[in-house]
Every structure is written in structure tokens, then in C-alpha cells.
Structure 1
Amino acid sequence: MAEAATEIEEEPKKPSKLPLIIALVVALAGGGGAFFAIYSGMILGSGEAGAEAHAEEESEPFTAPDVVYVPIDPMVISLGKASEGRHLRFTANIEVPTNQEGAVTKVIPRIVDVLNGYMRALRMEDLEDPAALVRIRAQMLRRIQVVTGPDAVSDLLIVEFVLN
């Protein structure tokens, strides 16, 4: 009978790995939280290191970039048949490095022609999208840079963009 008892004995259970996994997840979450708190300045940001960094930011005065803004004459563009006689009033300035002002001013008629052609091709659906102005502005800037060269124009600043 003693022999039968030894055969019935089961192998010992292996310990569960669940506590180890939970401890690992908690440790990672704590480490991530500590990193975020230090990185964002919630911890150690208000001490001497934070004060020194803040003092350095204040000591540097704002210096304007060496650019000139060349105005583009106001344009009124008819939007075609599908828009039922609607018009777009458009005014903008071109941001140009100071040393490029004369060259860009000479090609303003060509820039107006390129912009006029692009805006005439726009559909009403293109203009009704909330993100349309950002996309249209990027397209216009790219077309202006094709005319003037990539280094001659830094940016396009839209002053007026009105549908009526």
C-alpha cells in the first residue's frame, strides 16, 4: 500500500509568474511617471536648475529676423460656374530676406499670375474645408518659390481671405 501512495503523489506546483509580471508593470509605470515629472519640471524644475534656465531665457532679448515684407496687391478671383458667381478676395505679403527684396519685387507680376491661375483652379469644396487655408497657403508658397527660387522667399503671410 505504501507503494501506491507514492505513485499517487503529484509533482509539486510551480510558483505563479503573475506577481512577477505585476511587479514589472508597476515598476515600469513608476519609472515612466518619474521621468515625466522630472522632464516636465514638476520635480526639480522649481529649484536652482530651473531658476538658472529661466534666467537664461529672460536674458536673451528678442531679435527680429532680417526680412522684408513685400505686399501683393489685393486680388479678386471669380470662382466659376459651380460657385454661383461667388468671389474670393485675397491679400497677402511675401516674407523675403532683405538682400532679395529687389529681385522679388521685379517678379511680382509673375507671382500674381501664378497665384491667380492657382486660385482660379480651386473648387468651392476646396475652400469650405476647415483646414483649407493651411493647405492652400502651402501650395501658394511652393508656387511662389518656383518662380523666385527657394532661397528668395521665406514665407507667405495671408492678410485677407474672404469669400463673398
Structure 2
Amino acid sequence: MSDLADTPEAAAPAATGGKKLPLLLGLVGAAALGGGMFYAVYTGLLLPPSQKPPAAPRAASDFSFVPIEVITISLPPQSGARFLRFAGQIEVAETSFQDMLRMKPRFIDLINTYLHAVDIEDLRQPAALIRLRAQVLRRLQMIAGEGHIRDFLITEFILD
């Protein structure tokens, strides 16, 4: 009888039970730690909520658009296209509309200069309009000052 208990086959069931215990303790510990962290963040114990009030939705009358007429840029012959045709709208705060309208020539100059500097191969990329819009918006906001320009919309973009 004692010979049977000393064989490796008889010792195997006890060994597998010992291997599962650390795994089970690790899972229970991770769940408890995760739950504690969720509670701490949710109640504001760990990361207090920001003091900024939530943004109010925009009313239909608190912004206006400054149109940017069609800008046509000649492209070099090796680019595979003859020209780039571009138009857009600048969304401005209603209170700043007249000031931004006076700055329109500066906005057109900025967009024209930026479009001449962009590589044609960059404009052919799938995400080109997203990058172009973000870059132009950032530059417009820099020259207009904080709080005047809200967005920039591309209304026409043709490579021909």
C-alpha cells in the first residue's frame, strides 16, 4: 500500500491543486484592486472632478461664417494634376464677426501660403483633408486670437 502512495501518479492530483491556488489568489486580488480603484476614481477620492462647468451646447445664433472664396493654385507639371481648387468657411463667434470679416484678407493670405507649402503627395493621402483642416484651423486661431474662431470647414477641394 505504501508503495502506491510513493508513485508519481498518486502525487499528481495534489500538485495540480497547489498550482491553481496562486492563480486563484491573483485573480481575486486583481478584482479587488480593480474594484477599489474604480470606487476611488468614481467617488473623486483619487482624481477629483475638474472645476470647469460642462460646455453648454451652441445655440444656432451665437456664431457666423466668414466665407473664403475659391482659391486656385497652379501645380507643377510633375505633380500629375494641373491645379488645386480650394474654398472654405470660417466659423467665428457672433460677437467677433465684424472683426474677423476685416481680417479676411489676412486669412486668405494664410490659407494661400499654406497650400503652396504643402507637398502634393501629402494632399493625395486618405487623411489629407483632416490634417489640412486641423493645420489651417490652428493657424487661423493663432492670428485671430483666442476665442474668436471656432472651426474651419472645407467646402471645396479639387485636385485636377
Tell me the TM-score normalised to structure 2 length: 0.65
> In the alignment, what sits opposite 2:147?
151
Between Structure 1 and Structure 2, how many residues are aligned? Answer: 125
Determine what percentage of the aligned residue pairs are the same residue.
39
> In the alignment, what sits opposite 1:112?
108
C-alpha distance in 2, partners of 1:139/1:79? 20
Does structure 1 residue 98 correspond to structure 2 residue 102?
A: no
> In the alignment, what sits opposite 1:9?
none
Per-residue CA deviations over 1:30-69 (Å, capped at 9, x if unaligned) read: 88xxxxxxxxxxxxxxxxxxxxxxxxxxxxx984361111
C-alpha distance in 1, partners of 2:123/2:105? 24
CA RMSD in angstroms, aligned pairs only: 3.1
Contact (CA 8 Å) 2:61, 2:94: kept in 1 or not? no
> In the alignment, what sits opposite 1:20?
21
Contact (CA 8 Å) 1:70, 1:93: kept in 2 or not? yes
Q: Secondary structure at the match of 1:154?
A: strand
Per-residue CA deviations over 1:10-37 (Å, capped at 9, x if unaligned) read: xxx9886421233246657988xxxxxx
**For structure 1, which runs of at least 5 residues remain unmatched after alignment?**
1-12, 32-60
Matches within 5 A, 1:10-89: 17-24=18-25, 27=28, 63-64=59-60, 66-84=62-80, 86-89=82-85
Moved over 6 A (4+): 28-31
For 1:104, the aligned partner's letter is M
C-alpha distance in 1, partners of 2:134/2:58? 27
Contact (CA 8 Å) 2:71, 2:85: kept in 1 or not? yes
1:138 to partner: Cα distance:
1.1
- Distance change >3 Å, CA 140–CA 23, structure 1 → 2: same
- Distance change >3 Å, CA 158–CA 17, structure 1 → 2: farther
Per-residue CA deviations over 1:61-96 (Å, capped at 9, x if unaligned) read: 984361111111111111234314521111111010
Tell me the TM-score normalised to structure 1 length: 0.64
C-alpha distance in 2, partners of 1:94/1:77? 20
C-alpha distance in 2, partners of 1:107/1:24? 66
- Distance change >3 Å, CA 28–CA 76, structure 1 → 2: farther
